[in-house]
Structure 1
Amino acid sequence: MAKRATVDFVLRPFEGLPGEPDWVAMREVVPAATGTARTTAEHGAREVVVATVLPMAWPALHRADGTIMIALQQHAGSGDASRDLADLLLRALELPAGTPITSAPLPEPGPRLQDVLDLDVPFEVTVHQGFDFWTEGGTDLGPDVGPALEQMNETIIPTHRLTSVDAAYWARMGEREYLRWAVPHDEQDFLDALARLHVRRESGLGDQGSVGKFIGAFRSCGVLVPVWDLAPGTEAAELEEPVQALGGRLAEALAVEGPLDANERRARAGLVARQLTLR
C-alpha cells in the first residue's frame, strides 16, 4: 500500500493573508465573529464568510442561500491550518446549496488559503453578540440547530473588537474584563519593545496602568497575543484612547535600535516567563 502523503507543519499558517492577526484572534479568543474573503477568479470569485464556529461544529457549510462558510475554530488538523481550511473551502464550493461538511479528514498536500483567496480583498471582521448569523436570510439548518443556537447564545462571552488599533479584543469573563491583542510584529522585536516600556512602567493601559496591567501573553499560529487585566468594570469604549496611546509607545520602542540594557533584559526575561504556546 502506498504511503499517504502528509502536509508539512507550518508555524505561521496565516502569514501573507490580509488581517493575519485577526485570523489568529478569531481562531483562539473570539467566540462569535465573521470575516470577509473571496476566492480567486480561478475558483469562481466566490464570496466567502469566515466564521469562528458553525452549527454542530461543522467545519464548513454551503448555505441554502448560496453563502460559503468555513469555521476557524477546529480541534484537529494536519499541522497547516491554511491547507486544512483551503481544502474545506474547495470542497464546500462543490457541494449543493444547503449542504454542510460534517467532518474534516486530514487533507493531503495541496493549495493553501494563500493560493485560493484573493489577497486584495480586506479581511473585515464583524463581532457578533450571538450566533444568529448562522441563520441569516431565513436559512433553515435543520431541527438540531435551534436548540444548539439557543444554548450557545446563553453562554457566549461578551466580546468587542476595538477600532483604534487592529486585532485588539475586549472581553468580559465573569466579573473580570480583559484585553487580548494579536500583534503582527516579529515576536522577538515585540518583546524587546515591551521590555523597554515595562522598565519605565509604560506597558500598561492608562496612567501607571490604571486602566489595565499587562499580565502575560500566549502564542498561537506563530503570532503573539499579549493580555491585559483591566480595571473592574472597564467597558470596551473606555479602552480606545489608552490602547491607541500604548500603540504609539510600542511603535516608538520598536524603532529603537541597539541591545537592551541590564534592567530591560531582566524585564524581558520576566515577560518571556509569562508566555504560553497554544498550538
Structure 2
Amino acid sequence: MGKAARKKTKAPKVRDVFVAQPFEGLAAEPELIAMREFVPSATVKLSLVDDPGRRVTLGTVLPMAAAALVRTGGDVFLGLQVQTRSSDISRDLGRALRWALEAAEGDVLSVPDTTSPPAEGERLQDLLVADEEFDVQLHEDFSWWLPEGSEPAADVQLSLDRANEAIMPTERLGPGSYWVLAGEKAHLRWVRPEPENRLLQALARLSAAGELGLGEGSRYAGSFRAHGLLVPVWDLDAEAHAREWVEPAKHLGVRLETALASLDNEPLNAAERRARDGLVGRQLTLR
C-alpha cells in the first residue's frame, strides 16, 4: 500500500469565531440581553419566520436550567439562562429552538449543542422575525414553569423553590430598562442599542451639563458591557416605588436621544471630554 493510500482523510477545519454581539440585527437585542443577564423571571412569545402559528415561549430560565422543553400539547419553551455556552450564544439558542420544534411532547433538552460545526440558518437571526419588538411579561415567581393545575416532580419542585428564593423584585420601565431591587439597593439597568463609544459621548455630554441623573434620590453609578452593548446603571432611592422612576427615566431617555443627535454636528468640548474619561473609568461588575 502506498503512502498516499495510508494517509488518513482529515475532517475539514471549521473556524469557530467568538461572536461578541450575538443578538446584533434583532430589534429585541436589548431585551434579549436584559433577560439573559439580570431579569429574573420573564417570558415573551416568539414569532418564527417559517412557522408563525407555532406556540413558542422564550423564558429567562427553565426548570433545571434546561435549554428547551416541549410540553404536552406541543407548546415549546426556550431558555436563555443556561449553564453551557459556545462562542455564539445566538447559535446555541437557535439550535435549541430547532431541536424543540422537532422534539416530541414531554422531551427536555438539558444543554444546547455547543460542539457541532457552525452551519447556515441556525442562529436566532435566521429563525425569528428580526424587526419585531418583544412584549416582555415579568413574573413575581416561576409558576409559569408548570401547566395550570399540574403537580411538579420532586426535582422540578426543588428547582422551582430555589429559583423563587433567588428572585429580586424587578419592574420594566421601558425598552431595555429595568428597575431592580437588589437587597437594600435599587438600580436602573438600561441596555442601550447604540455603539459604545457614541453612547459614552452622549452620556458625557449630559454629565457635563448636570443632566445625567434621574432627579433627587438618584446618581449615575457606572456601566458594564453585556454581549456587545453597554449597560449604564443608576443607583436609586430604594424607598421609592419603581413606578416613581418611570417618568424620570422617560425624560432621561429624551435627553439622551437629543445628546446622541447633537454628536453629528458638535464634537465634545474640553469639559465633556473630561466627563467622558471619568465615565470610562466607572466600569461595574454585575453581581
Judge same fold: TM > 0.5, yes or no.
yes
Match of 1:84 in 2: 92
Higher alpha-carbon deviation: 267-276 or 192-201 = 267-276
Please provide the CA RMSD for this pair. Answer: 1.9
Of 110, 124, 143, the match for 1:113: 124
Q: Aligned pair in 2 of structure 1 residues 88, 227: CA closer, same or farther (>3 Å)?
A: same
Of 207, 218, 221, the match for 1:212: 218
Of 19, 37, 49, the match for 1:40: 49
Match of 2:180 in 1: 171
| 1:75 equivalent in alignment to 2:86 | no
* CA distance in structure 2 between the aligned counterparts of 1:19 and 1:56, rounded to whole angstroms: 26
| 1:241 equivalent in alignment to 2:238 | no
Higher alpha-carbon deviation: 238-247 or 268-277 = 268-277
Q: Secondary structure at the match of 1:275?
A: coil
Match of 1:232 in 2: 238
Q: Deviations over 1:190-247 (max 9, x none)?
A: 11111011012110111xxx13111111111111111000023121100011111111
* CA distance in structure 1 between the aligned counterparts of 2:251 and 2:134, rounded to whole angstroms: 24
Q: Deviations over 1:160-188 (max 9, x none)?
A: 111xx311101111111111011111211
* CA distance in structure 2 between the aligned counterparts of 1:49 and 1:81, rounded to whole angstroms: 17
* CA distance in structure 2 between the aligned counterparts of 1:238 and 1:65, rounded to whole angstroms: 41
| 1:222 equivalent in alignment to 2:220 | no
Q: Secondary structure at the match of 2:85?
A: coil
Q: How does 1:1-279 map to 2 (within 5 A)?
A: 2=11, 5-41=14-50, 43=51, 45-106=53-114, 107-110=116-119, 111-119=122-130, 121-139=132-150, 142-162=153-173, 165-206=174-215, 210-256=216-262, 257-276=265-284
Q: Secondary structure at the match of 2:233?
A: strand
* CA distance in structure 1 between the aligned counterparts of 2:127 and 2:150, rounded to whole angstroms: 26
- The alpha-carbon deviation at position 56 of structure 1 amounts to 0.7
TM-score, normalised to structure 2, is 0.89
The 8 Å contact of residues 59 and 88 in structure 1, kept in 2 or not, is answered as: yes
Q: How many residues align?
A: 272
The one-letter amino acid of 1:92's match is A
List, as ranges, runs of 4+ consecutive aligned residues in structure 1 with deviation greater than 6 Å: none
TM-score, normalised to structure 1, is 0.91
Mark the runs of 5 or more structure 1 residues left unpaired by the alignment: none
Percent pairwise identity: 45
Q: Aligned pair in 2 of structure 1 residues 120, 202: CA closer, same or farther (>3 Å)?
A: closer
